[in-house]
């Protein structure tokens, strides 16, 4: 197994990712949108955190009528940030993309939020419909990582959080990818060694890390409002139920990279998209897909920490543990 060409979610052909970021003048937040192919993607969801903020997750129940979604929104702003979905829906509707209802189309856009209120200085500054519209307009088949979009105001265990992504290509040629917004009450760092918990799950040479030779003050978890959210995707044809199962195994990937995870202060939520570009997997390939999905989530968390940049009051991993970064 190896990573895809860009080691990102958009190695799953047909997907696009866009961010809108607001920094300064009391702002430190943003919105990220994962745009499906125009025909939509089969989707599932698994919510594990004790304090979720979500929209349209019931739509993804296998017992319900809608089979495909047209985008997934990940956003800051806590529950207020769900307003950003309206901007994405308006943009999709203007293009004629959505679930056909009589003579109208209704874009299906599930969403999840992180808690970042006030981290830029003004608790009233949070994403609205314009954030969703701009993120949609910025959607590309490449993924920008770091403190952008929904990861702008993210923190994890006292360090700066961010957006991260990773992918893998199975033996069959099928692709699986993950994108996560890491904003956890728990820590991604082993306080005894300074190592990132998820680093051991990378491909050879993927992260360019070494064991830190100097440790700052302890970096344990903080009891703060948080939440890690993300999207897993594959080009294999899956049912809604299988997508939900893949999302659940994706949470195993979070548990390998963040400790503790799924606390009562987190609303951890993962979505899975199937573009159906490839045939349905046989049992062995489905098992390989699920295992790779969990690993992609773990690796995406590591990439988020490495891509993060410091913000007032929150150091990045690179600043806190400079001797862990291999500059060779």
202-226 confidence digits (pLDDT tens): 999 999 888 887 777 655 555 578 9
Q: Encoding tokens for residue 132? A: 């969703």
Our count of domains for the chain comes to 1
Structure tokens at 285: 């390939």
Domain presence at residue 4: no
The range of the structural domain enclosing residue 74 comes to: 9-324
**Residue 167 domain-assigned?**
yes
Whether 3 is covered by a domain: the verdict is no
Q: Residue 192 falls within a domain, yes or no? A: yes
Predicted TM-score (pTM) above 0.85 = yes
What is the arithmetic mean of pLDDT over 226-247? Answer: 97
- Best CA proximity match to 227, nearest among 267, 180, 187: 267
Residue whose C-alpha is closest to residue 31's, from 69, 68, 83, 93 = 83
Of 22, 54, 305, 19, nearest in space to 153 by CA: 22
Asked if residue 185 has pLDDT above 60, the reply is yes
The enclosing domain of 263 has a CATH number of 3.60.70.12
| Half-sphere exposure at residue 30, Cβ-oriented, CA atoms within 13 angstroms | 28
Q: What's 265's DSSP letter?
A: T
| Mean pLDDT, the chain, integer | 95
**pLDDT higher for 289 or 212?**
289
Question: Do the beta carbons of residue 56 and residue 110 sit within 8 Å?
Answer: yes
Residues 293-302: pLDDT tens digits?
999 999 999 9
Secondary structure class of 209 (helix, strand, coil): strand
**In this structure, is residue 116 part of a structural domain?**
yes
φ, ψ (nearest 5 deg) of residue 146? 110, -150
Q: Is residue 236 part of a domain?
A: yes
Give the single-character DSSP code of 56. S
Residue 1 lies in a domain: no
First-to-last C-alpha distance (Å) of the chain: 25
User: Which tens digit of pLDDT belongs to each residue from 128-138?
Assistant: 999 999 999 99
Within a domain: 2: no
Structure tokens at 167: 């992918």
Tens-digit pLDDT profile for residues 28-55: 999 999 999 999 999 999 999 999 999 9
């Amino acid at each position: 197994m190896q990573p895809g060409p860009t080691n990102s979610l958009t190695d799953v052909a047909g997907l696009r990712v866009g961010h809108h970021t607001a920094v300064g003048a009391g702002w430190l937040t943003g919105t990220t949108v994962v745009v499906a192919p125009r025909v939509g993607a089969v989707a599932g969801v698994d919510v594990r955190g004790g304090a979720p903020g979500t929209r349209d997750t019931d739509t993804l129940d296998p017992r319900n009528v809608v089979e495909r979604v047209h985008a997934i929104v990940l956003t800051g702003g806590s529950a207020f940030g769900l307003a950003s979905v309206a901007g994405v829906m308006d943009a999709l509707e203007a293009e004629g993309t959505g679930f056909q209802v009589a003579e109208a189309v209704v874009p299906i856009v599930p969403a999840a939020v992180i808690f970042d209120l006030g981290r830029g200085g003004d608790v009233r500054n949070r994403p609205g419909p314009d954030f969703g519209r701009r993120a949609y307009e910025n959607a590309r088949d490449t993924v920008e990582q770091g403190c952008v979009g929904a990861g702008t105001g993210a923190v994890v265990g006292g360090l700066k959080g961010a957006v991260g992504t990773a992918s893998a290509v199975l033996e069959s040629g099928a692709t699986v990818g993950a994108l996560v917004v890491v904003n956890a009450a728990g820590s991604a760092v082993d306080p005894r060694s300074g190592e990132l918990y998820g680093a051991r799950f990378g491909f050879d040479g993927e992260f360019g890390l070494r064991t830190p030779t100097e440790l700052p003050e302890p970096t344990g978890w903080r009891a703060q409002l948080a939440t890690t959210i993300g999207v897993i995707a594959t080009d294999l044809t899956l049912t809604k139920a299988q997508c939900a199962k893949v999302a659940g195994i994706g949470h195993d990937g979070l548990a390998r990279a963040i400790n503790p995870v799924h606390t009562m202060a987190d609303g951890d939520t993962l979505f899975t998209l199937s573009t159906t570009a490839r045939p349905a997997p046989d049992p062995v390939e489905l098992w390989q897909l699920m295992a790779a999905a969990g690993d992609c989530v773990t690796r995406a968390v590591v990439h988020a920490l490495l891509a993060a940049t410091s913000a007032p009051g929150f150091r990045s991993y690179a600043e806190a543990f400079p001797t862990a970064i291999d500059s060779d």
